[in-house]
């Protein structure tokens, strides 16, 4: 309709005029907003990363790529990248496997399914800090509920879930899996409901049991959803900060030091904002690479 | 009557509203508006953190503003204060006034703070009002609210139950250990009640200070880690022995305030703020608690009983010179004219002994046994030590090596010394000098 109206206007098509108005009234303010609050800070952060910049200090000495050389030689920075990948991959893979398993179990349930979904979604709706504090109490070595239960079950050694360099990261991963279960299940459930029922009917006629249906129909046809959940989960997990800040502060012995927390500590606690900006740029490049991988994988067209 | 809106008009309106909201969001809340030269009124902004405290500052601030025709003031409690104030300083949108924490020292060193005028804050006023404050440390840039001295907190009922005299708390390390052993309880699962739980933060630091040592050496041109000194090793060995040798402390117990507050421990050494924590969070245990100077090796108060820190009040930033008169006027009202009630409210809220001399014999202070004890102890103020945050984590790692990996204290201190020296070599910790 707008095309016809526009065609009547001399010199400039109505469609183009509408487009220009749209650009001026919607896209320009949005782009301006993004330029000011997204692109400029990214550019400025790169600028700062080339300087020996310390917060509160007036001098701002250009040092080229010296900050990048410093972080390349910093063993804690390298460790923090490894830890971030460990957390991201561990939390995502475990989260997707557990969520998928539970989704497949819960999907056939019709009566009370809403309550069950709500139950799994509860951690997502609860205040994150409160949840983390609750976990810290549950996991205490001396009076924590989980250690008490382990002792009653006959395991007498105290388990230092958050105080042992080997156990601390798996414990954080376990907490992440628990916390993100409901959200991942919702996405997987939506994907599951999108699979045409004809496939299941055909499988049933052919005598396929639950396991075979899950293995040969459900999981392969959910590959796009699983890929999306996995890649976005890894990118999100790579940025992990809150759980580290509240529970471990990167310890013990830097075993949970992740790149986000290390950047925060370097930039705001130690005030070396130039160095922290260089770290942030390295992190930015890693996330760009992950995002490109995600786009390449998910750009395939899937048709049932 | 219904009104139909065309899609185009709706889109236009929504776009304008969106753009307006985006522009409105660009304004940084609480920043000083640019004032025309000589324009009235002048608007000041004070940032701080923790709402109950900022409410006290707000009361004083609004009283001040009500008594003046052309000045207004906005008091904001901000979360994540360091990130926000550092960013605001970088952007030039910082407030006029700021409730200071440990960031005072680098801010002062970098010349960001406005010096209080001598004609308002005279030397005589400083000397008579705040005689216990070391002004070499703070200069004319801030005034302390109070001094947080370390106290021995002990459960009097547990003392009685163990056959100890609750009116004679331990004064020497030897008595301390005897009391800790007498009040510790154990069963097959291990310790069920600790005789002592030391403070989580700066674990062992009190013992090093009580021996006359320090964990840093600030005597030279540059700061040095000092964890391998004789006093430091002896101090940390004492703390380690509470667990490894004497069995009066289990490091897996909750933090010291909770342990004493839930009767899982009898004694702790902590700064005076813990008095308020017990009063507010553990009211059923609070009446049982006694407060005393922390024990020292010999029972003498020299060199010090423990770590003391100073809680600072409000500083002013350099910036818009048009607002300086208003800033000075507010600081004068806050520190001189508002009287001691506002000071008392702040000191009571954060549970410290006020630095202001005319409050030290105030009946409100003397009726609180914990604060009265803290007030007695502030005379031997130790110079402030504001070490970088990484250092506390490094001390925690040292105790991990001692308790969990079976390392000797000497070996753990060697590693700790290297780790902390690396922190200093990165240019951190200069606030400690």
SS3 category, A117? helix
Measured CA to CA, the distance from residue A158 to residue B203 in angstroms comes to 22
Could you tell me if residue A60 is inside a domain? no
Torsion of the alpha carbons at B143, B145, B149 and B155, rounded to the nearest 10: 180
B99: Cβ–Cβ under 8 A, 6 or more apart, which residues?
Answer: B46, B47, B48, B49, B53, B54, B57, B312, B313, B314
Each residue of B36-90: pLDDT tens digit?
455 568 999 999 999 999 999 999 999 999 999 899 999 999 988 999 999 999 8
Q: Average the pLDDT over each of A8-12, A266-270, B205-209 and give the range with the smallest value.
A: A8-12
Torsion of the alpha carbons at A162, A164, A167 and A173, rounded to the nearest 10: 30
Q: What residues in A contact B15, CB-CB < 8 Å?
A: 25-26, 29
Q: Which residue of A has its CA nearest to B259?
A: A143
Quick check: A21 contacting B, CB < 8 Å?
yes
Q: What is the mean pLDDT of residues A186-199?
A: 88
- Highest mean pLDDT of the ranges A185-189, A265-269, B31-35, B179-183: B179-183
Measured CA to CA, the distance from residue B56 to residue B342 in angstroms comes to 7
pLDDT above 70 (res B338): yes
**Does residue A168 sit in the same domain as residue A19?**
no
- Pairing relation of β-strands B353-354 and B144-148? antiparallel
Residue appearing with tokens 């005319």: B358
Quick check: B397 contacting A, CB < 8 Å?
yes
Asked if B19's CB is within 8 angstroms of A29's CB, the reply is: yes
Best of B98, B110, B319 to disrupt the A interface (most A CBs within 10 Å) is B110
Could you tell me if residue A74 is inside a domain? yes
Q: Average the pLDDT over each of A66-80, B232-246, B340-354 and give the range with the smallest value.
A: B340-354
Could you tell me if residue A147 is inside a domain? yes
The answer to whether B224 and B424 have CB atoms below 8 angstroms apart is yes
pLDDT (0 to 100) of residue A301: 57
The pLDDT-based confidence of A300 (bands split at 50, 70, 90) is low
Tell me which of B7 and A240 has the higher pLDDT.
Answer: A240
Q: What is the mean pLDDT of residues A158-163?
A: 93
pLDDT (0 to 100) of residue B20: 42
Q: Which of A25, A160, A268 sits opposite B83 (nearest CB)?
A: A268
Q: What is the least distance, in Å, from the CA of B286 to any CA of chain A?
A: 22
SS3 category, A42? helix
pLDDT above 80 (res A185): yes
The answer to whether A129 and A184 have CB atoms below 8 angstroms apart is no
Task: Name beta bridge partners: B353.
Answer: B147
Measured CA to CA, the distance from residue A142 to residue A146 in angstroms comes to 10
Q: What is the mean pLDDT of residues B163-178?
A: 97
Q: Average the pLDDT over each of A281-285, B353-357, B416-420 and give the range with the smallest value.
A: B353-357
Q: What is the least distance, in Å, from the CA of B19 to any CA of chain A?
A: 6
Tell me which of B31 and B251 has the higher pLDDT.
Answer: B251
Q: What is the mean pLDDT of residues A198-218?
A: 85
Alpha helices (runs of H) in chain A, residue ranges in sequence order: 2-8, 14-22, 28-34, 40-49, 66-72, 75-106, 113-125, 128-138, 145-152, 168-193, 197-205, 210-213, 219-221, 223-238, 242-247, 259-264, 273-298
Q: What is the least distance, in Å, from the CA of B419 to any CA of chain A?
A: 11
Measured CA to CA, the distance from residue B404 to residue A57 in angstroms comes to 41
Asked if B389's CB is within 8 angstroms of A269's CB, the reply is: yes
Q: What is the least distance, in Å, from the CA of A97 to any CA of chain B?
A: 34
Q: What is the least distance, in Å, from the CA of B83 to any CA of chain A?
A: 6
Torsion of the alpha carbons at A282, A283, A288 and A290, rounded to the nearest 10: 120
Residue appearing with tokens 């105080």: A163
Measured CA to CA, the distance from residue B374 to residue B148 in angstroms comes to 7
Torsions phi, psi for B3 (to 5 deg): -115, 125
Cis check: omega of the bond before B11, within 30 degrees of 0 = no
Quick check: B92 contacting A, CB < 8 Å?
no
Q: Which of B16, B22, B86 sits opposite A268 (nearest CB)?
A: B86
Asked if B390's CB is within 8 angstroms of A26's CB, the reply is: no
Same fold, B42-148+310-380 and B150-307+387-432: yes
Q: Which residue of B has its CA nearest to A70?
A: B426
Could you tell me if residue A25 is inside a domain? yes
Torsion of the alpha carbons at A274, A278, A280 and A284, rounded to the nearest 10: 150
**Does residue A78 sit in the same domain as residue A9?**
no
Q: What residues in B contact A271, CB-CB < 8 Å?
A: 86, 106
Q: What is the CA radius of gyration of chain A?
A: 25
Look up the CATH number of the domain holding residue A125.
Answer: 1.10.3720.10
Asked if B112's CB is within 8 angstroms of A25's CB, the reply is: no
pLDDT above 90 (res B296): yes
The domain tally of chain A equals 2
pLDDT (0 to 100) of residue A145: 95
**Does residue A43 sit in the same domain as residue A75?**
no
Q: What is the mean pLDDT of residues A158-183?
A: 94
pLDDT (0 to 100) of residue A61: 92
pLDDT above 70 (res B244): yes
Q: Average the pLDDT over each of A21-35, A274-288, B116-130, B131-145 and give the range with the smallest value.
A: B131-145
Q: What CATH fold (topology level) applies to the domain B150-307+387-432?
A: D-Maltodextrin-Binding Protein; domain 2 (3.40.190)
pLDDT above 90 (res B278): yes
The pLDDT-based confidence of A96 (bands split at 50, 70, 90) is very high
Report the percentage of chain B scoring pLDDT > 90: 58
The answer to whether B147 and B262 have CB atoms below 8 angstroms apart is no
Q: Which domain holds residue A84?
A: 68-298
Q: Average the pLDDT over each of B29-43, B58-72, B318-332, B384-398 and give the range with the smallest value.
A: B29-43
Quick check: A238 contacting B, CB < 8 Å?
no
Q: What residues in A contact B103, CB-CB < 8 Å?
A: 56
Tell me which of B111 and B31 has the higher pLDDT.
Answer: B111
**Does residue A10 sit in the same domain as residue A95?**
no
**Does residue A85 sit in the same domain as residue A234?**
yes
Q: What is the mean pLDDT of residues A261-281?
A: 93
State how far the alpha carbon of A165 is from the alpha carbons of A159, A171, A249, B403, in Å. 12, 10, 13, 14
The pLDDT-based confidence of B22 (bands split at 50, 70, 90) is very low
**Does residue A146 sit in the same domain as residue A35?**
no
Q: What is the least distance, in Å, from the CA of A87 to any CA of chain B?
A: 21
Q: What is the mean pLDDT of residues A16-43?
A: 88
SS3 category, A300? coil
pLDDT (0 to 100) of residue B255: 94
Q: Evaluate whether ipTM surpasses 0.85.
A: no
pLDDT (0 to 100) of residue B39: 57
* Superfamily of domain B42-148+310-380, CATH level 4: Periplasmic binding protein-like II (3.40.190.10)
**Does residue A113 sit in the same domain as residue A39?**
no
Asked if B86's CB is within 8 angstroms of A55's CB, the reply is: yes
What letter would DSSP give residue A261?
H
Measured CA to CA, the distance from residue B83 to residue A263 in angstroms comes to 13
Rounded mean pLDDT of chain A?
87
Q: Is A260 exposed, middle or buried (0-12, 13-18, 19+ CB in 10 A)?
A: buried
pLDDT (0 to 100) of residue A57: 87
Measured CA to CA, the distance from residue B370 to residue B374 in angstroms comes to 6
Could you tell me if residue A190 is inside a domain? yes
Q: What residues in B contact A33, CB-CB < 8 Å?
A: 22
Q: Which residue of B has its CA nearest to A249?
A: B393
Asked if B12's CB is within 8 angstroms of A142's CB, the reply is: no
pLDDT (0 to 100) of residue B257: 96
Residue ranges covered by each domain of chain B: 42-148+310-380, 150-307+387-432
Q: What is the least distance, in Å, from the CA of B86 to any CA of chain A?
A: 7
**Does residue A83 sit in the same domain as residue A123?**
yes
């Amino acid at each position: 309709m707008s095309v016809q109206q526009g065609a009547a206007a001399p010199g400039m098509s109505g469609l183009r005029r509408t487009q220009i108005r749209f650009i001026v009234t919607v896209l320009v303010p949005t782009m301006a907003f993004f330029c000011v609050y997204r692109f400029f800070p990214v550019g400025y952060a790169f600028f700062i990363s080339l300087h020996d910049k310390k917060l509160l200090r007036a001098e701002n000495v250009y040092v080229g790529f010296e900050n990048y050389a410093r972080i390349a030689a910093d063993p804690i920075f390298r460790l923090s990248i490894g830890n971030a990948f460990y957390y991201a991959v561990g939390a995502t893979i475990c989260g997707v496997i557990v969520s998928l398993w539970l989704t497949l179990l819960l999907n056939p349930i019709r009566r009370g399914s809403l309550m069950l979904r709500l139950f799994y979604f509860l951690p997502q709706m609860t205040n994150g800090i409160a949840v983390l504090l609750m976990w810290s109490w549950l996991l205490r070595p001396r009076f924590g509920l989980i250690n008490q239960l382990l002792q009653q079950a006959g395991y007498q050694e105290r388990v230092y879930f958050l105080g042992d360099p080997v156990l601390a990261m798996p414990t954080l991963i376990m907490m992440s899996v628990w916390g993100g279960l409901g959200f991942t299940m919702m996405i997987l459930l939506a994907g599951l409901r999108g699979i045409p029922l004809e496939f299941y009917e055909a499988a049933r006629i052919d005598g396929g049991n639950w396991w075979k249906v899950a293995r040969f129909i459900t999981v392969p046809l959910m590959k796009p959803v699983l890929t999306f959940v996995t890649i976005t989960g890894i990118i999100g997990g790579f940025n992990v900060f809150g759980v580290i800040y509240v529970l471990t502060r990167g310890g013990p012995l830097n075993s949970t030091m992740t790149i986000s927390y290390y950047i925060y500590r370097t930039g705001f606690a130690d005030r070396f904002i130039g160095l922290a900006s260089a770290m942030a740029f390295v992190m930015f490049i890693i996330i760009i690479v992950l995002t490109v991988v995600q786009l390449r994988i998910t750009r395939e067209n899937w048709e049932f | 009557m219904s009104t139909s809106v065309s899609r185009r008009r709706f889109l236009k309106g929504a776009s304008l509203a969106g753009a307006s909201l985006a522009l409105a969001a660009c304004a940084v809340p609480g920043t000083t508006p640019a004032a025309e030269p000589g324009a009235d009124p002048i608007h000041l902004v004070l940032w701080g953190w923790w709402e109950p405290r900022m409410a006290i500052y707000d009361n004083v601030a609004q009283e001040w503003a009500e008594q003046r025709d052309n000045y207004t003031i906005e008091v904001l409690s901000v979360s994540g204060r360091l990130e926000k104030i550092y960013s605001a300083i970088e952007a030039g949108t910082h407030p006029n006034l700021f409730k200071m924490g440990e960031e005072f020292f680098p801010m002062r060193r970098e010349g960001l703070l406005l010096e209080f005028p001598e004609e308002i804050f005279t030397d005589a006023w400083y000397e008579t009002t705040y005689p216990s404050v070391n002004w070499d440390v703070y200069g004319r840039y801030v005034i302390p609210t109070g001094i947080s001295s370390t106290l021995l907190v002990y459960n009097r009922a547990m003392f009685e139950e163990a056959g100890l005299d609750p009116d004679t708390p331990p004064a020497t390390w030897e008595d301390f250990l005897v009391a800790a052993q007498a009040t510790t309880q154990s069963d097959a699962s291990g310790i069920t009640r600790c005789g002592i739980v030391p403070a989580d933060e700066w674990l062992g630091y009190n013992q090093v200070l009580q021996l006359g040592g320090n964990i840093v050496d600030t005597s030279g041109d540059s700061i040095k880690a000092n964890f391998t000194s004789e006093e430091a090793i002896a101090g940390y060995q004492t703390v380690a022995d509470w667990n490894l040798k004497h069995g009066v402390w289990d490091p897996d117990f909750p933090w010291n305030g909770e342990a004493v507050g839930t009767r899982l421990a009898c004694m702790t050494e902590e700064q005076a703020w813990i008095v308020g924590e017990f009063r507010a969070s553990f009211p059923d245990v609070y009446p049982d608690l006694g407060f005393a100077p922390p024990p020292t090796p010999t029972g003498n108060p020299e060199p010090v009983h423990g770590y003391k820190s100073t809680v600072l009040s409000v500083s002013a930033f350099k910036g818009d010179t048009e607002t300086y008169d208003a800033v000075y006027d507010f600081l004068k009202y806050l520190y001189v004219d508002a009287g001691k009630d506002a000071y008392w409210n702040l000191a009571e809220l954060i549970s410290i002994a006020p630095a202001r001399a005319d409050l030290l014999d105030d009946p409100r202070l003397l009726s609180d046994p914990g604060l009265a004890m803290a007030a007695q102890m502030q005379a031997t103020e130790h110079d402030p030590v504001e070490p970088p945050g990484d250092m506390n984590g490094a001390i925690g790692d040292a105790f991990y090596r001692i308790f969990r990996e079976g390392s000797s204290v000497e070996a753990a201190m060697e590693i700790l010394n290297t780790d902390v020296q690396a922190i200093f070599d990165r240019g951190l910790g200069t606030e400690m000098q």
